[in-house]
Structures are given as C-alpha cells and as structure tokens.
Amino acid sequence: MKKNIWIIANWKSNKTIAEGLDWISQVGSQISKNDQLKVVVCPTFSALSEAKKAVTVGNFPLMIGSQDLSPFGIGAYTGEEPAQVLSQLVDLAILGHSERRQNFGETDEMVAKKVGQALANNITPLVCVQDGQTPVPQGCPLAAYEPIFAIGTGNPDTLENANNVAAKLKQSYGDLEVLYGGSVTSDNVESFIAQENINGVLVGGASLEAEEFIKICKIAGEKI
Ligand code: PGA
C-alpha cells in the first residue's frame, strides 16, 4: 500500500484574514483531489472561522488545522482555546512546536494533556518533536521531527538523519506517521518525502507564498 503524504502549512503568527483568504482561494483551486495527499493549512486562531468557510464554499481539498489548543476543556481558563470549540473548525492541531516550548514554557506534560483533549474531540494531534528523545504521547497518530537548528534558517537536516530519526520514532511508538519540518522548500521537498520513513512535511516560511506552496503540493502529488 502506498503511504499517505501530508503537506502542512504552518503560518505561525502571519497573515491578516484577507491575506489568508486570498491564499486559500489560490491554493485551493490548484490542489488536485487525492485521498493520499493530505494538505492542511494552519492559520492563526482568529482566521480559522473564515478559513473554514472559504474551504467549504470552494469545496477545496484542504483541511484546516490550529497551531495549538488548550490543555483543559471548556470552563474558567481565560484566553485558552478549548478542543470542544475548535473541533467545529479544525481537523488537526499542531502541538508542542519548539516555538511554543521556547517562548511559552510548554512542557511535555502540557503537550500530553493537549493530545488527550484533541483525541477526545476528534481533532488529529500532530506533535512536534525536536529530536528522537522528545516523547510522543500515547495514542498520538502523527509526529513531526523538527530540529531547532533547521527551523527558519535555510539549513535543513540531512535526508539521512531525518529518515533515521523518523525510523527511530516509528520503532518506539509503533503506528505513527512521521513528518519532517525545518527549511522545507520546493527545492528539497521531493527528497524528503522520498525517504522511506517520512510521511510528509511541515512547512513554515515556504508556505506563506501561495505559488511556492502550490509547487510543493504539486511535487508531492506526483510522488503518490
Ligand atoms: P520553516 O518552519 O519551514 O520556516 O523552517 C517550519 C516550522 O517551524 O514548522
């Protein structure tokens, strides 16, 4: 059986709602429908609702993701975005990104709670791990190996190392799909997804330009 390929756009704290909608209409109309090509866009929280509407109205083969969610359920947790509410808008949540661990003190324990909330509310958790040692919480079906030195630097990890870390994660956690992230562009995406143990890519900077992201998706689509 051929493997799924995930192409996930992590916009981080970028794009106004109007800019996001423009990107969605450009990218959505260019992606070919293919059950094994899983394209996900992760806007800011405030753009999620409009993004979801645009994807639904356009009938685009795009999933929507958030970049985080609350470790708690509904209740007195000021400022948090609970999975029960988010589940109306998103299919997936990026959890434990290194920028959250570094800037917001997110710990492995918090990430595990967030994974629990996602799973209980039908949101697919994607846990980012910075190396082969970062734990992937139980029941999490998707992980992304994102070495810190490779994020936003133009200096991706070697194909060999990325594939080895992905293999190690699969050995440790069994039924896990593993993505690579860190300076992925249209120039290197083909080589990363060709690696035996890599099931797709998490794309930051190169996802912001619609044209570049369409290129990345087209290259991936041809490999399925
Ligand atoms: P980058 O970011 O593609 O800009 O390196 C990836 C990420 O942080 O998810």
Nearby residues of 154 by Cβ (< 8 Å), 6 or more positions away = 183
Ligand 1 pocket by C-beta < 6 Å: which residues? 10, 146, 151-152, 181-184, 202-206
Q: Which residues of the chain have pLDDT under 70?
A: 1
What are the CB-based long-range contacts (under 8 Å, 24+) for 71-78?
A: 71/110, 71/113, 71/114, 71/117, 72/113, 72/117, 73/117
Other Cβ atoms closer than 10 A to 2: 7
CATH code at position 55: 3.20.20.70
Calculate how far, in angstroms, residue 179's C-alpha sits from the geometric centre of ligand 1: 12
| Angle, helix 17-28 to helix 210-222, in steps of 10 degrees | 30
Which residue numbers are catalytic?
Answer: 97, 146
| pLDDT for the residue 52 | 98
CA 214 to chain centre: 16
The string of pLDDT tens digits covering residues 107-135 is: 999 999 999 999 999 999 999 999 989 99
The string of pLDDT tens digits covering residues 163-190 is: 999 999 999 998 899 999 999 999 999 9
Which regions of 11-158 does DSSP assign to beta strands (E)?
37-42, 63-66, 92-95, 124-129, 142-145
Find out whether 127 and 144 touch, Cβ atoms under 8 Å: yes
Other Cβ atoms closer than 10 A to 29: 10
Other Cβ atoms closer than 10 A to 170: 17
pTM over 0.85: yes
Q: Which residue has the tokens 């990430």?
A: 111
Per the structure, the count of domains in the chain is: 1
CA 9 to chain centre: 6
Residue whose CA is closest, atom 6 of ligand 1? Answer: 204
Which residue segment(s) compose the domain that 154 sits in? 5-222
Other Cβ atoms closer than 10 A to 130: 20
